[in-house]
Amino acid sequence: MNLTDLLKLYGDVQEHEPMSAHTTYKIGGTARWFIQPRSVTALMRIMQLLDAENIPWIVLGRGSNLLVPDGAWPGAVINLDYTFNDCYFEPDGILYAQAGCALPALAVEAMKHSMSGLEFASGIPGSLGGGLYMNAGAYRSDLSSILLEVLILRDRKVEWVSREDLDYSYRHSAFQEHRDWTILAAKFQLEKSDQNRIRQLMASRQQRRMDTQPLDKPCAGSTFRNPGDMPAWEIIDRLGLRGRQIGGARISDKHSNFIVNAGGATCRDVMALIDLVKTEARRVFDVDMIPEVEIPEWTA
């Protein structure tokens, strides 16, 4: 039995899968395997099979903060979104949620249970696992502010790790230095609140996103972290780069910290704009612009 047939014992497997179908940018080359494990046991066995053949692998969420390089990749992309998506709400505000849960759906479920704390996440189009990886946030809140523990797979062991041991800060976590740690689930502390108040707050914030962000174009959300007192969009505006286009990638006219796929964009096009902003910000303002979008190691 060849490797592909073995992998199919443990999950749904697609070969030579275009990653443009799995990222909100609609950009990316092909992965040799795209795998959706059926369980934690299956996930562990899949990783074991890949490691035995020295095949590189990455875990992908919903692809909402990801810029996948062009070209073919001889590795495997493991996706947890469709099998690791259960959530459980306890009366005292404790929430257990698996890594594949969509953040907007999780926020809606919290609202239905009259639990406050996830309103900020209602407009973040990613998975919980991806959100924990980058400490996703909005409106001066982030996931680490309500997080208690994360269930991870590392060194072939499944264990709970407390928030204090995961080095959380603005758009950062220990997972970014430990790519071999796989997020499986998390435990949060929410607060009981009025359901109508939560619903109204989520609706107003969603309307604000629609009014200020280019949600009609494929993109990956905010391109750069805010470097300090001056927000990233203002730096880009002062550089005169709003609306600048290279190939099919364009700095949005609606919100200049968004680089959008204006049609047929490649990873190279987006990277050219990212590099342009970084170079000009360093030259004019002596500021280092750090990308918020994740760019995986992907050697064609």
CATH code, 223-285: 3.90.78.10
DSSP one-letter code for 13: E
Choose the catalytic residue: 17, 149, 280, 292.
292
Choose the catalytic residue: 38, 45, 171, 242.
171
- Is 62 part of the annotated catalytic residue set? no
What is the DSSP track for 37-77?
ESSHHHHHHHHHHHHHTT--EEEE-SSTTB-PPSS-EEEEE
Identify the segments of the chain with pLDDT beneath 50.
Answer: 300
- Is 292 part of the annotated catalytic residue set? yes
What is the C-alpha to C-alpha distance for residues 134 and 202, in angstroms, rounded to an integer? 22
Q: Structure tokens of 203?
A: 């609706």
CB 251 within 8 A of CB 242: yes
CATH 3.30.43.10 fits 87-211, yes or no: no
Q: Which residues contact 134 (CB under 8 A, 6 or more apart)?
A: 65, 171, 172, 173, 176, 292, 294
- What interhelical angle do 103-112 and 195-212 show, nearest 10? 150
DSSP one-letter code for 127: B
Choose the catalytic residue: 20, 122, 127, 222.
222
Picking from 121, 17, 22, the residue whose alpha carbon sits closest to that of residue 75 is 17
Task: Convert the pLDDT of each residue in 213-244 to its tens digit.
Answer: 999 999 999 999 999 889 999 999 999 999 99
Class of 3-79 in CATH: alpha beta
What is the bridge-based pairing of β-strands 147-154 and 182-189?
A: antiparallel
User: In this predicted structure, what is the pLDDT of residue 299?
Assistant: 60
Picking from 232, 256, 295, 279, the residue whose alpha carbon sits closest to that of residue 63 is 295
pTM here is 0.91
- Is 268 part of the annotated catalytic residue set? no
Residues carrying CATH 3.90.78.10, the chain: 223-285
Residues carrying CATH 3.30.43.10, the chain: 3-79
Q: What is the mean pLDDT of the chain?
A: 95
